[in-house]
Amino acid sequence: MDFLKRLRRYPVALAAGLCILAVVLTALFAPVLAPYDPDEMDTATRFAPLGTPGHWLGTDEFGRDILSRIIYGSRVSLLVAFTAVAVALAAGGVLGVLAGFSGGVADVLLMRLMDLLFAIPALMVALGVVGLLGPSAFSVVVALGVAYTPLFARIARSAVVGVRSAAYIEAARAMGASPARLIRCEVLPNILPILLVQVTASLAWGILDEASLGFLGLGVQPPTSSWGAMLTTGRQYMYQAPSIALFAGAAVLVVVFAFNLFGDGLRDLLDPRSSR
């Protein structure tokens, strides 16, 4: 509750948060909100233009309703981004906390491995993983999860190193707390805000990267609708139906923008010193 009260002082972040909530609700209630089945083809109404009654955003090359496909596409984008970031947070968080907390050889080895993965641009890592597993939603989740893990590991480690020698940790240790308890009750709650800000930023990248992979033909495969894949078809049919690419891209832009604004606000809220 306290958090929500404080969030009210950041109206832009609050608005962005509401926008994200609206998109999440749209994804959840897609069957109710979408006027048509996203895969329903109607060859009689192929390439219906913008503003056609019944198909307000027009139809694509198979006569499928673009609005419905964008609404359903939000499911893929959000699901892939959320799961990939959850994977990266879990894997990177555990590795980083272990490395930072244990120190010594384990720390050096783990972090050098993370440095190596970090040295490969995220999209390259993702391309490599999709190459291994073949293009699918699952591959994209694994690919982005692997690609983002080093960043979370680094952040978690440096946050742990920062609090490791704090007085309250020493006190808990002196009271006989086990390492597991120290991590769970003392370290984690204190590094959570830092991780949370990173989660928001990563969700924005997740949606962008999912769309990029989809655009390259390496994401979710047809007929499932995803924003990235819609941009690829939109490019092919740019003359007949410009609204496919236009609105799919706009959807990505709005959601990513909202996540970025929310992340910025969250950072200022959790660490007022960073507010400039």
Partner 1 sequence: MLRYTLYRLLLFVPLLWGLSVVVFVYIHLIPGDPVQAMVGASASQEFVAQLREEFGLNRPLLVQYVDWISGLPAGDLGITFRSRQPIAPLLLARIPATLQLALAGLLIALLVGLPSGILAGLFKNSPFDHLFSILSLAGYSMPLFWLGTLLMVWLGVSWKVLPSQGYVPFTQDPLKNLQYLVLPAVSLGLGLGPYIGRMARAAVIEALQEQYVNYAHAKGLRMRTVVNRYVLRNAMISLLVVFGLNIGFLLSGQIVIEELFNWPGAGRLIVRAVLERDYFMIQASVLIYASIFLAINLLVELLHAYLDPRVQLK
Assess contact for 39 and 47: CB atoms under 8 A. Answer: no
Query: Cβ 172 to partner 1, closest distance in Å?
Result: 32
Query: Cβ 65 to partner 1, closest distance in Å?
Result: 21
Query: Cβ 221 to partner 1, closest distance in Å?
Result: 12
Whichever of 30 and 216 has its CB closer to partner 1, that residue is 216
How crowded is the C-beta side of 55, counted as CA atoms within 13 Å?
A: 24
Q: Which residues contact 59 (CB under 8 A, 6 or more apart)?
A: 42, 45, 46, 47, 48, 52, 65, 66, 241
Whichever of 67 and 213 has its CB closer to partner 1, that residue is 213
Query: Cβ 190 to partner 1, closest distance in Å?
Result: 25
Query: Cβ 45 to partner 1, closest distance in Å?
Result: 23
Binding site for partner 1 (CB under 8 A): 112-113, 115-117, 119-124, 127-128, 130-135, 204, 208, 211-212, 215-218, 231, 234-235, 238-239, 242, 245-246, 248-250, 252-253, 256-257, 259-261, 264, 276
Q: Token pair for residue 256?
A: 């990513």
Compute the distance between CA of residue 97 and CA of residue 100 in angstroms, rounded to an integer. 5
Whichever of 183 and 230 has its CB closer to partner 1, that residue is 230
Which residue is listed with tokens 């995220």?
Answer: 122
Whichever of 67 and 203 has its CB closer to partner 1, that residue is 203
Q: Phi then psi for 120, rounded to 5 degrees?
A: -95, 125
